Amino acid sequence: MSQAIHTVGVVGAGQMGNGIAQVAAAAGLSVRIHDVDHARIEAGLSAIDQRLGRLVSNERMSEDDRKATFERLSAANTIDDLADADLVIEAATENEKVKAAIFTDLCAKLNKDAILATNTSSLSITRLAAGTDRPERFVGIHFMNPVPKMKLVEVVRGIATDDATFEAVRDFVGALGKTMTLSEDFPAFIVNRILLPMINEAVATLHEGVGSVESIDTAMTLGANHPMGPLTLADFIGLDTCLSIMRVLHDGFGDPKYRPCPLLVKYVDAGWLGKKSGRGFYDYSGEKPVPTR
Ligand X SMILES: CC(=O)CC(=O)SCCNC(=O)CCNC(=O)[C@H](O)C(C)(C)COP(=O)(O)OP(=O)(O)OC[C@H]1O[C@@H](n2cnc3c(N)ncnc32)[C@H](O)[C@@H]1OP(=O)(O)O
18 scored as a contact of ligand X (CB under 6 A): no
What type of residue is 243? L
Q: How far apart are CA 248 and CA 241, in angstroms?
A: 11
- The answer to whether the CB of 191 falls within 8 A of the CB of 237 is no
CB of 225 to ligand NDP, least distance (A): 20
AA identity, residue 160 = A
Q: 114 or 147, CB closer to ligand X?
A: 147
Q: Find out whether 13 is annotated in a ligand binding site.
A: yes
Q: Which of 91, 156, 249, 268 binds ligand NDP (CB under 6 A)?
A: 91
Is the Cβ of residue 61 or residue 144 nearer to ligand NDP in the bound state?
Answer: 144
Question: Which residues in the 63-122 window bind ligand X by CB under 6 A?
Answer: 121
Shortest Cβ contact with ligand NDP: which residue? 14
Residue 214 labeled ligand binder: no
144 lies in the binding site for ligand X (CB under 6 A): yes
Which entry of 30, 121, 124, 183 is annotated as an active-site residue? 121
Q: Tell me which of 122, 192, 200, 244 is the catalytic residue.
A: 192
Closer to ligand NDP by Cβ: residue 40 or 127: 40
Contacts of 180 (CB under 8 A, 6+ apart): 152, 153, 154, 155, 170, 173, 174
| Residue 51 is a binding residue for ligand NDP (CB under 6 A) | no
Draw the binding track, 239-278, toward ligand X (x: CB under 6 A; -: no contact): --x-------------------------------------
Nearer to ligand NDP, 26 or 106 (CB): 106
Stretch that binds ligand X, among 30-38, 132-140, 191-199, 249-257 (CB under 6 A): 191-199
149 touches, from ligand X, ligand NDP, none (C-beta below 5 to 8 Å by class) = ligand X
254: annotated binding-site residue?
no
Active-site position among 154, 183, 200, 244 = 154
Do residues 61 and 67 make contact, with C-beta atoms less than 8 angstroms apart? no
- From residue 114, how far is each of 23, 78, 107, 170, 177 by CA, in Å? 20, 17, 9, 15, 22
Beta pairing class for 7-11 and 87-90: parallel
Catalytic residue among 30, 142, 183, 200: 142
Residue numbers 194-253 binding ligand NDP by CB under 6 A: 237-238, 241
Cβ(240)–Cβ(268) under 8 Å?
Answer: yes
The catalytic residue positions are: 121, 142, 154, 192
List residues binding ligand X (CB under 6 A): 51, 58, 60, 121, 144-146, 148-150, 191-192, 195, 227-228, 233, 237, 241
Q: Point out the annotated binding site for NAD(+).
A: 12-17, 35, 94, 99, 121, 145, 276
List residues binding ligand NDP (CB under 6 A): 11-17, 35-36, 40, 91-94, 98, 102, 119-121, 142-143, 145, 237-238, 241, 276
